[in-house]
Amino acid sequence: MAADFELSAELRTDMGKGASRRLRRKADHIPAVIYGAGREPQPLTLAHKDLAKACENEAFFSHVLTLTIDGEKQSAIIKDLQRHPAKPRIMHADFLRVQMDQLISVDVPLHFLNEDLCVGVKIGGGQISHNMTQVEISCLPGVLPEYIEVDLAELELGQAVHMSEITLPEGVTIPALSHGADYDQLVASVNINKRAEADDADVAGEEDGEAETDSGTEDEGEE
């Protein structure tokens, strides 16, 4: 898939925690690093606003990016972000260089389709549980999907979808499945709606109570 995101960065020479704090505070930039593809890691700095804006798009996390570093363009994927625990602030970013002829492993989001048409919900009165929202895949950079679709239309009450049942694009695999059946994780399931079941039980209990009261009143009248 072609790179749709471009970011500009500069090589960082001022290292250490103190330098990183000054960078964030005074220049509104953040520290980052790019590594991989048989080259030495390079410490970087880039504008926080540019990265934060890119992160607003879900596709940013599953696309090959173009990083322009002091005039040199490098293809990469975002590998890790460190965020402030209490503020909407990115603290550090890790980028992994990619080569178009080498496999990469990326976490891509899952998009669930036809939830409103799901048999287990419409007919069985069940409730859909999402056990996973993303999945790690392996593929060449050129076929990296933006997301993986999971169709839930035919899922019945009590049934589930596992990773091995996901329909993957050509050239895409799920590495975890190569380790055996124990790694075939649950993706989504249709379960009994506990809340609806509890409400029905409450209604039934109230009706039984009313019936007993009516029966007691009738008995008193007969005496």
Question: Domain containing 184 — which CATH number?
Answer: 2.170.120.20
pLDDT, residue 28, reads: 86
Please say whether the beta carbons of 138 and 163 come within 8 A.
no
pLDDT, residue 193, reads: 85
Residue 50 belongs to domain with CATH number: 2.40.240.10
Do residues 133 and 86 share a domain?
no
Counting the structural domains of the chain, the total is 2
Residue 171 falls inside a structural domain: yes
Supply the pTM of this predicted model: 0.77
Residue 48 falls inside a structural domain: yes
- Residue 55's SS3 state is helix
Do residues 71 and 137 share a domain?
no
What residues make up the domain containing 158? Answer: 105-196
pLDDT, residue 3, reads: 43
Look at residues 99, 132, 157 and tell me which one is the last residue of a structural domain: 99
Do residues 69 and 131 share a domain?
no
pLDDT, residue 191, reads: 95
pLDDT, residue 218, reads: 54
pLDDT, residue 2, reads: 45
In order along its 223 residues, the chain shows pLDDT tens digits of 444 799 999 998 776 565 556 555 556 899 999 999 999 999 999 999 999 999 999 999 999 999 999 999 999 999 999 999 998 999 999 999 999 999 999 999 999 999 999 999 999 999 999 999 999 999 999 999 999 999 999 999 999 999 999 999 999 999 999 999 999 999 999 999 876 555 554 545 555 555 555 555 555 555 4
Do residues 113 and 190 share a domain?
yes
The b-or-e profile of 197-212 (16+ CB within 10 A means b, else e) is eeeeeeeeeeeeeeee
pLDDT, residue 52, reads: 95
The whole-angstrom separation of Cα 94 and Cα 79 is 5
Do residues 95 and 177 share a domain?
no
Residue 179 falls inside a structural domain: yes
Give the residue from 127, 103, 106 showing the smallest Cα distance to 188.
127
Please say whether the beta carbons of 35 and 70 come within 8 A.
no
pLDDT, residue 213, reads: 56
pLDDT, residue 41, reads: 95
CB-based contacts of 73-77 (< 8 A; 24+ apart in sequence): 74/34, 75/3, 75/99, 75/100, 75/141, 76/34, 76/36, 77/104, 77/106, 77/141, 77/144
Please say whether the beta carbons of 91 and 24 come within 8 A.
yes
Do residues 154 and 89 share a domain?
no
The whole-angstrom separation of Cα 99 and Cα 36 is 9
Look at residues 99, 115, 132 and tell me which one is the last residue of a structural domain: 99
Do residues 178 and 126 share a domain?
yes
Contacts of 145 (CB under 8 A, 6+ apart): 1, 62, 108, 137, 139, 169, 172
